[in-house]
Structure 1
Amino acid sequence: MLVSNLHDRELPLDKFGRDLATPVQVIAAPAVPLPHKLQWLQMQLAALKPGLLTLFNHHYDVATVAAAQPGVAREIAYFHHADHDMALGVFLPHALHVDCTNLSHHKCQHYLGVHNPVYWPLVSPDAGVRQGHGFMPNGELLTCSHGSVGKFMSPGRYAYFDVMQRRLAEVGGSHLHVGMLPDAVLEGFRTRLQAAGVDPARFQYQPPVPGLWAYLRDSRVDLCISSFPIQGAKGLVETQGAGLPVLQNESGLSKHHSTRELVYEEALWWETPDDLIRVLQSLTPELLAEQAVAARRFYERWHHPRELAYALNNPRRTAPVPPVRHPPCDTLALYLR
């Protein structure tokens, strides 16, 4: 594995290697100017003569994209860094264009006209489904949200903490937040709850955990409210694999912010805070149990590691793609934003 190390940082490469099932040699580029990084990459590739060269680069990594010239490998696969930034390498004519979500694959294939589009599904090792969970014991609902702080603090139509205040004020039970929150933000929200007459202890906080799947599987959580304004695709895979129901935000601004495309078809969803409150107030243990089964079924069909293995090992280098649904976006609001 060659690492361009564009910013010449100290990288925990030894730790990265320990997380892999089989030993992998990892070599980082020296701290030299970009043209010399490009030359270094080209010399390494010439010596390695790879059969399949796969690019996992930052969207602005010009050295890595420039090194992936025709002929440096029998086959080149460009893994699309598909977030909110334009990415170098999207239209490489001699490379497979890899997307890991059905939404980005659909857009790149049908709207952007990229060359050689293929789908490598986002997967997570199967750590087992939750067993014996009784939903809403004593009628108390425990919801959770998880993800990095940027997924909750990014600009959006509805602010996470505004919605969570309504959730706690108008629906019983508690909410568990899994992931880092700055101390000032956490204390500020608890002060808001106190002022609104809501017990701050009902907003529970769990700093980042080593393994999200195992944590959710072993938890008492009844329902995962997916992060918003920005969803977390990998976290949704692990949530559904663990057999937890999902309540998904359908963004009216952009499906790339948050969408039902990444969850099971029967998943509960909301577009406005009023929608969310109505859904939460209508929940029953029976409905949540049905949702849990559907979530696990979706993981097994579309996001189990065998799906990625199939994509990598069949001659077309692609896997079946989950269907894409087409709820409209509020294009006027997106323009005015």
Structure 2
Amino acid sequence: MNQESQKSVEYSQYYNLECRVADQVKAKQYNGALESLLNFITLVMHRQYPPGELIGSAKLDRLCEKIGLSFYHEFYGNIVHRDEFCSNDDVSVIICTGLFKSGGTSPLIGDIVRAQGRRKSTILATNSLGSMSGDDLAMSRLGEVNANIIICDKGNLVDRLHWLVQQITRLEPSRIILLNHHQDSVIIAAARPFTEKTKVLFYHHADHNLCLGVHLTGAIHVDIHNVGFCNCRDREQVADNFYVPMTINDLGSDFVRRVFLDKRRLTTCSSANPHKFSNFYFYPYHELIIDRLEARNGFHIHIGVMPESALQHMHHKMLERSIDPSRLVYIPWTPSLWKALIDNSVDLFIGSFPIGGARTAIEVMGAGVPMLMHENYLTRFHSSRDIAYPDHFLWQYPHEFTEVISNITFDDLQAHGMRSRDYYLKYHCTEKIGLEDELNRICDGTSTTRPAPLYPHHPDMLDRSLHFSYLEDMAIGHSIQHDRATHVAPVAAPLTPHQSVSLSLTQKTSKVIGLLTARTYRNALSLIPWLTKR
């Protein structure tokens, strides 16, 4: 056997990552190790198919823990002895990747802070992805909270790891609650040395894709909705996970929808940012909302950022079909979806697709607004319908979507509105649930709370197969075109170094297969007429 054949075999991408991280840790190149892990998880998130199949990885968590423990021993093992850390029962620390004006993370953190009771709370944000904008903190929708907020606003990943370990050591909390974004290796690496010193709760909110921390050694695993709880218990084999429901403060009877079809017009609404409706999907949000406006009078309100190109596309299509573009109302941002639904007299909420929103669904039910949800053919994680009240309006194919819009009556809306509000009061009302007591029971290991059962899920497996086949065909076609244009063999795109990442997490997750998503979406429109006429 020659010397060349004796070189180490590259068994898999993970094996290569493990070897690289081991070498970096051995050489005390902790920043490189953190970057390697962050970039690897980002790559898997973008390329994962089918989505929702991979939520956590024990071996990735062990790798991140190895970085954290080695780092801690190297820099802090002799300075702060294990026995010298004395947890303070009056202190809680909530650690997150960032505070953002959009999405459900910041309001969730606000709820957690308010549930700490007498404890003094500090919110630590690593900003490890560099994705917080200037106005995110001011508009983060934390609500009224009594907490000290500290953001690490500079430095590479190892600088942020130093900062986070030092903050935890200084504060000596009796509770550390983690709300990390999927690939934030800094938070999990920093948390591991403290799982033997104090209570560490992994609050599994980034649960629709691969996320670090699902199997964090010594941490208390908390899931916040029924889909996540069942998935982690059954598929991820997290045998001792706990459930604590997402709750929202009740705005009261003045903010509950009671009168529907004002002036005999149907007002519908959806709320989402681009990463929830711009991914390639056979039934595109932009197209079906136009179908909704054609099927029945009234207005559709979109709350959340929508790219200008998407708005122009929708206006152009509406004019082609003789629909007044003013019937599409665009609200880029609101501090309270609940209040916006009432203020705009919304009769029916159309859950965003292909990806829905869990907290969004709860706000809608709090307002007593009926819901039309989608049976996603890719994964039940994306539809969020398991969080909605029983027997909500449901569609799987476009003709079912338009049938609901066309045939819905005042009596239907009245009955669904009452069920929507009742379900919120039973399962998600802060004043009725008692989040502080539930968190105390979880920390004590005595909680027996279980989520509502999941609904039957019957995805169309043909659509699912065609979806992935089409993406693969597009990827092959793109590779061939690239080959012809450059006269070189196509190679896999290299991992982007952390320092050069300029896209936000929202922008990144809106990609399905790297830069092919937008092109794939445009080309896929040619398939839509055939698929929707079945």
Give the TM-score, by structure 2 length.
0.59
Aligned counterpart for 1:313 among listed residues 424, 431, 440: 440
Q: CA deviation at 1:231?
A: 0.4
Looking at structure 2, the residues matched to 272 and 182 of structure 1 have their Cα atoms a distance apart, in angstroms, of: 25
Q: CA deviation at 1:318?
A: 6.3
Residue of structure 1 in register with 2:312 after alignment: 187
Aligned counterpart for 1:57 among listed residues 156, 163, 180: 180
Write out per-residue CA displacement over residues 212-270 of structure 1, whole angstroms, 9 at most, x where no aligned residue: 11111222211111111110111111111011111111112211111420100021111
**37-46 or 206-215, which moves further after superposition?**
37-46
CA distance 1:219–1:18, change in 2 (3 Å) = closer
Highest Rg: 1 or 2?
A: 2
2:248 matched to 1:121?
no
Write out per-residue CA displacement over residues 42-76 of structure 1, whole angstroms, 9 at most, x where no aligned residue: 23322322111111112111121112125554211
CA distance 1:145–1:46, change in 2 (3 Å) = same
Residue of structure 1 in register with 2:32 after alignment: none
Answer yes or no: is the 8 Å Cα contact 1:93–1:115 preserved in 2: no
Looking at structure 2, the residues matched to 138 and 18 of structure 1 have their Cα atoms a distance apart, in angstroms, of: 33
- Give the aligned residue type for 2:440: N
Unaligned stretches of 5+ in structure 1?
none
Q: Percent identity?
A: 31
Residue of structure 1 in register with 2:417 after alignment: 292
Aligned counterpart for 1:323 among listed residues 435, 453, 458: 453
- Give the aligned residue type for 2:169: A
**103-112 or 146-155, which moves further after superposition?**
146-155
Answer yes or no: is the 8 Å Cα contact 2:358–2:384 preserved in 1: no
Residue of structure 1 in register with 2:388 after alignment: 263
- Give the aligned residue type for 2:175: L
Residue of structure 1 in register with 2:230 after alignment: 106
Residue of structure 2 in register with 1:37 after alignment: 160
2:261 matched to 1:136?
yes
Aligned counterpart for 1:251 among listed residues 376, 388, 394: 376
Write out per-residue CA displacement over residues 61-97 of structure 1, whole angstroms, 9 at most, x where no aligned residue: 1121112125554211011243443111111131111
Looking at structure 2, the residues matched to 30 and 139 of structure 1 have their Cα atoms a distance apart, in angstroms, of: 52
Looking at structure 2, the residues matched to 175 and 14 of structure 1 have their Cα atoms a distance apart, in angstroms, of: 30
CA distance 1:301–1:207, change in 2 (3 Å) = same
Answer yes or no: is the 8 Å Cα contact 1:223–1:247 preserved in 2: yes
Residue of structure 1 in register with 2:198 after alignment: 74
CA distance 1:169–1:79, change in 2 (3 Å) = same
Answer yes or no: is the 8 Å Cα contact 1:250–1:259 preserved in 2: no
Looking at structure 2, the residues matched to 111 and 189 of structure 1 have their Cα atoms a distance apart, in angstroms, of: 40
Answer yes or no: is the 8 Å Cα contact 1:168–1:198 preserved in 2: yes
Looking at structure 2, the residues matched to 269 and 23 of structure 1 have their Cα atoms a distance apart, in angstroms, of: 41
Aligned counterpart for 1:91 among listed residues 184, 202, 215: 215
Residue of structure 2 in register with 1:5 after alignment: 127
Looking at structure 1, the residues matched to 221 and 340 of structure 2 have their Cα atoms a distance apart, in angstroms, of: 34
- Give the aligned residue type for 1:4: T
Give the TM-score, by structure 1 length.
0.90
- Give the aligned residue type for 2:185: V
Looking at structure 1, the residues matched to 259 and 150 of structure 2 have their Cα atoms a distance apart, in angstroms, of: 49
Pairs aligned (count): 337
Residue of structure 2 in register with 1:334 after alignment: 464
Mapping of 1:180-259 within 5 angstroms? 180-259=305-384
Unaligned stretches of 5+ in structure 2?
1-122, 469-534
**72-81 or 224-233, which moves further after superposition?**
72-81
- Give the aligned residue type for 1:5: N
Answer yes or no: is the 8 Å Cα contact 2:257–2:417 preserved in 1: no
Residue of structure 1 in register with 2:274 after alignment: 149
